[in-house]
Structure 1
């Protein structure tokens, strides 16, 4: 048994109690009879030990997001067909898991916060605080997901009965929600163990640095969103982002992993990879697992998420300059030459000729345009064994140290209007070095007529590509109205490699045209917030639909 996956085995060992824990954590009665069999667990008898509270908290981890195709909402990726979010064609839904699921998580967290103290006499204050801190982290996670999409939503901080008047309460303001979110994360950061204290035995549980890193993410989001959408107190949030990110760095608990590609393979699993701050765990092998996923075969190889020309063009040349300014850049004549002298993270993120691919095609040559509509194919998490078994146990990184670094750089720049070379060396130049790219400096920016803001944003984009950040970055920067209506383009159509078997539309410059601009729109008057589900408004008439929907 691998010790760096102890949490997995704790969950497996306690599987017979899991459904009871789910019912109890959700605040539902486990049994309605007065006299229980000896083997039954009731809410009245459950909250008595550290094991009980830990099992209840285990349920919260099932809400951590699995692999998905959210990048197709942005200009980084396109699937097999157009997407209603990125092309502006969606309508307000009747129901939405994006609204209901976070509230399920919040209810479960509230239940633990309320009931864990019942075990105070048996386990002591420190143990109670530790698991209440986990619950408060997850409550903050749930509210971040809600406010990110819907803006103002009801703020519920206790479990409610079916007839509770709070169920008819109006939405709380963004400021109120973020204030509570910060309070929850501050409590979590002060009470949770460090990654070192968690060690191998509890690897995968929330650490104090996870709380700090998530606070930095949330504060950067609201700080920049309020700045560019012109509301609230941007500097307050940006200052919190700087302080939280700096605290993660100062903790000395984390560092960058040496190999970018292996960061997303089994080689990047476990405590030996100090870059991962929080992951969604799957397991260590086919026989030792909590669950599996088929992300490589079902999403990447099958074309449900393909990189765009816009993303490809954002990767720098090795000299640190964009392809439009670098003397190293020459017009490619083959698909392989697209990667010549580029940031090595591009070839780690995109499939290129010669890469290992899948059982029926061991070596990649060129993207299949029937599936990979852009003529590009993502490579992160690609693994031949996983393609064959369709049962991968590669974990999904949710918070990485690299994100903390690029967050600190952006927050400092947006707070001060400038950033020193020393701060660039502390942050984005560390991630650029891993990609084999020259340093970003103020002199480089000035000499080449670049924008420091754009270069920091570029670094964030390429470092976190294919990890679900891009759409929300466009939203908070208020650039979605500029970027999303643009045509979706793919690779240059190298006819000798792609052939003529698949019907394909091309631009006059011979790039693959995946979706024309006439089919894309973004309405800034409404699309920066998502529509509330119609049924939720019917259930709570105090809720008001977001503008324009």
Structure 2
């Protein structure tokens, strides 16, 4: 399926290369003439394939917005220095995706006139509605209420000058699209190996679970709306995936992000962005290894210290923890996901330096190097075909656990066993129970959040979690601190600032700020406000 889907995506890119960058994004009538195009299933599939190009690519550097990773320069979102931009690629790209999805939703029924089965037409409309929901969720996270455009617009359409819809209107539109997709899409089993990579019923459920958890917890901690309604939706969607038995955890956490974790045999993957067929048959590639080695997203001490000891206790409580004297001791008696996420001495590294010893501080400013998607052969080739994970089953388990807890302010040991403890077992650490938490003075809420923190590390979740929990104002104003400075290993060639207790100080707290009166929403691009006088800027921007 990878070869077929990628080739069709390549064709779709050629067909749609002349898409306008404006918000209307009209497809020229001479390019895809309705009578000539919307006739066969192949036509519908070709149009739908273009939507897959909007899935996020690699490497994922979104955690640079948070306290978990740092690049080679300050990040304006993370440290609060950004200003409202004239344009925003995310805003424009999301509406381009929405426009392309609307076009399929409106035009696909034309294929009924040439004998294409209604179920087939509905399937591709369902894919389009999934991607429309994806586009609106991307906007919703950032800007809150945005204009809802649910049809293909013309230059004189009144919707071009419509005000933003409310948060509730946008999230309900997302739910409605995903409900249609859940009803009409095939299961992963029905897709099989031949159609691996296409949107499935469980992918639609997973996105619904994600979106509803975001709005449910955001409304709970920010104090608006009916948070229980959204959390109930997230819980039900997550449970439907669990009960489907379509997915399970992959045995190796490390291999989830390597070629060994690709394809239908890895039932943890719910949705991936597929890359090139092979190094000899290139369609689409990424350069995650090169970018990570050059410091695109270097993990921080905040992330590393979040990993538990093997006894299930945090480092500040566990008798197993000893302050490291050499870099390898950072990983001693720890959750195995740490050594699968962060490069350690002895790991395979790069062509010019085959065995990793310690981070190069001129590039990896924190003294830590992310290991997900890092592959030595790919570094040498300067391109990689490893698929990018977009949604995986582990997230669904975490969504279920958190939604359950936040609905009830408690969670049963049975539900912890169903969710959190499956992840802990893979990490080879002690299980979490209510009795264990009570005996050790642990907060169940914090432990559920910790589990999410480490399981989904460097995958782009941390910033949005801080936003919805309303803890960004606490966490993002702290200094960015890196690894312990092991002088015998790091040497003295690179001058670095250190804390009083000898950790690498990457960015001081005096250079970080977060304004809760404005920074929980992103600024609407200024050009969009000029184009639509009824569109209002988010508060205090």
Tell me the TM-score range normalised by the shorter chain: over 0.9
Q: Which residue of 1 aligns with 2:15?
A: 20
Instruction: Give the match's secondary structure for 2:517.
Output: coil
Distance 2:321 2:337 in 1: 17
Q: Do the aligned residues in 1 keep the contact of 2:2 with 2:277 (CA within 8 Å)?
A: no
Q: Do the aligned residues in 2 keep the contact of 1:302 with 1:372 (CA within 8 Å)?
A: yes
Q: Do the aligned residues in 1 keep the contact of 2:206 with 2:237 (CA within 8 Å)?
A: yes
Q: Deviations over 1:325-349 (max 9, x none)?
A: 0111111110000100000000000
Distance 1:41 1:185 in 2: 27
Distance 2:231 2:65 in 1: 26
2:208 to 198, 206, 215: 215
Distance 2:433 2:319 in 1: 18
Distance 1:10 1:84 in 2: 38
1:58 to 36, 49, 72: 49
Q: Deviations over 1:149-168 (max 9, x none)?
A: 00111001001001111100
Q: Does 1:128 align with 2:121?
A: yes
1:276 to 266, 269, 272: 269
Deviation for aligned residue 1:24: 8.7
Deviation for aligned residue 1:126: 0.2
Q: Deviations over 1:410-442 (max 9, x none)?
A: 000000100011000100100111000110110
Q: Does 1:410 align with 2:409?
A: no
Q: Do the aligned residues in 2 keep the contact of 1:353 with 1:365 (CA within 8 Å)?
A: yes
Distance 1:329 1:363 in 2: 27
CA RMSD of aligned residues (A): 1.3
Instruction: Give the match's secondary structure for 2:506.
Output: strand
1:44 to 35, 53, 56: 35
2:260 to 251, 267, 284: 267
Q: Does 1:187 align with 2:185?
A: no
Distance 1:463 1:126 in 2: 38
Deviation for aligned residue 1:290: 2.6
For 1:50-449, list aligned pairs within 5 A.
Answer: 50-67=41-58, 68-121=60-113, 122-298=115-291, 300-449=292-441
Q: Do the aligned residues in 2 keep the contact of 1:307 with 1:378 (CA within 8 Å)?
A: yes
Change in 2 beyond 3 A, CA 1:41/1:85: closer
Q: Which residue of 2 aligns with 1:36?
A: none
Deviation for aligned residue 1:289: 3.9
Give unpaired runs (5+ residues) of structure 1.
Answer: 32-39
Q: Do the aligned residues in 1 keep the contact of 2:277 with 2:283 (CA within 8 Å)?
A: no
Between 235-244 and 22-31, report the one with greater CA deviation. Answer: 22-31
Instruction: Give the match's secondary structure for 1:232.
Output: coil
Q: Which residue of 2 aligns with 1:471?
A: 463
Q: Deviations over 1:391-418 (max 9, x none)?
A: 1000100000000001100000000100
Deviation for aligned residue 1:30: 4.3
Q: Do the aligned residues in 2 keep the contact of 1:317 with 1:323 (CA within 8 Å)?
A: yes
Instruction: Give the match's secondary structure for 1:292.
Output: coil
Deviation for aligned residue 1:296: 1.3
Instruction: Give the match's secondary structure for 2:483.
Output: strand
Distance 2:353 2:126 in 1: 48
Distance 2:173 2:296 in 1: 37
Instruction: Give the match's secondary structure for 2:391.
Output: strand
Q: Which residue of 2 aligns with 1:518?
A: 510
Distance 2:112 2:19 in 1: 18
Q: Do the aligned residues in 2 keep the contact of 1:5 with 1:201 (CA within 8 Å)?
A: no
Distance 2:259 2:186 in 1: 25
Q: Do the aligned residues in 1 keep the contact of 2:9 with 2:53 (CA within 8 Å)?
A: no
Deviation for aligned residue 1:41: 5.5
Distance 1:20 1:323 in 2: 54
Q: Deviations over 1:128-159 (max 9, x none)?
A: 11000000000000000001000111001001
Q: Which residue of 2 aligns with 1:7?
A: 5
Q: Deviations over 1:29-72 (max 9, x none)?
A: 242xxxxxxxx862331001110010000010011111231110
Distance 2:380 2:335 in 1: 30
Distance 1:95 1:23 in 2: 20
Q: Do the aligned residues in 2 keep the contact of 1:155 with 1:177 (CA within 8 Å)?
A: yes
Q: Does 1:485 align with 2:477?
A: yes
Q: Do the aligned residues in 1 keep the contact of 2:3 with 2:277 (CA within 8 Å)?
A: yes
Q: Do the aligned residues in 1 keep the contact of 2:8 with 2:49 (CA within 8 Å)?
A: no
Distance 1:18 1:66 in 2: 16
Distance 2:99 2:290 in 1: 35
TM-score by length of structure 1 reads 0.96
Instruction: Give the match's secondary structure for 1:278.
Output: strand
Change in 2 beyond 3 A, CA 1:23/1:82: closer
Q: Do the aligned residues in 1 keep the contact of 2:2 with 2:274 (CA within 8 Å)?
A: no
Q: Do the aligned residues in 2 keep the contact of 1:5 with 1:270 (CA within 8 Å)?
A: no
Deviation for aligned residue 1:232: 0.8
Instruction: Give the match's secondary structure for 2:199.
Output: coil
Q: Which residue of 2 aligns with 1:37?
A: none
